Amino acid sequence: MLSKLINLLPRDWLVLLYKHTPFTKFKNWVVYRAQHKFLVAVLGVITNDEGQVLLLKHVYREQPWGIPGGWMELEKPEDGLTREVFEETGLKVQIIGLSRAIFGQKPNRVDLVFKGRIIEGAFIRSTEISEILYCSIGSWPDGMPTEQKKLIEEILSDG
């Protein structure tokens, strides 16, 4: 409701109001309430020493196989992905860098897709992940979304 009212005002007025309103906490409250919200997910194209991609079998998905990931908490994205992989698999990973930022819907979100590599650990089954698989490009398991196959291929072909 507040966002609809605020967005009716001309942009120039909003800038002037923000600039000349002395109460920082109030200004930040209004700005927060007026903006659209979305979730941030962290995903990883994680490889082993042989260059094979780590895939997880998710117990709650219709197409169970996919890359590791999850929702960020109040943390740096790289830390969020490292935490998610460890919580779900017991594996420790090194994040190499951000490869993609993708806007998605249902729910509204931004997916941050990183490249990384396994550095140590052995798989430990979790409530979310029943098994893992190291897979070469093109040798995908049944039950893996086409979008993820394409995403992995694009990211790994970027070098």
Residues 25 and 58 in one domain: no
Give the pLDDT mean for 92-120. Answer: 94
- Which tokens belong to 87? 């919580």
Domain of 152: which CATH number? 3.90.79.10
**Which structural domain range is residue 93 located in?**
39-157
Residues 73 and 88 in one domain: yes
pLDDT in the model for residue 141: 95
Residues 30 and 46 in one domain: no
Residues 105 and 53 in one domain: yes
Q: Which of 26-40, 52-66, 137-151 has the lowest mean pLDDT?
A: 26-40
Number of domains making up the chain: 2
The pTM score is 0.81
**Residue 21 banded pLDDT, cuts 50, 70, 90:** confident
Give the pLDDT mean for 28-49. Answer: 87
pLDDT in the model for residue 38: 83
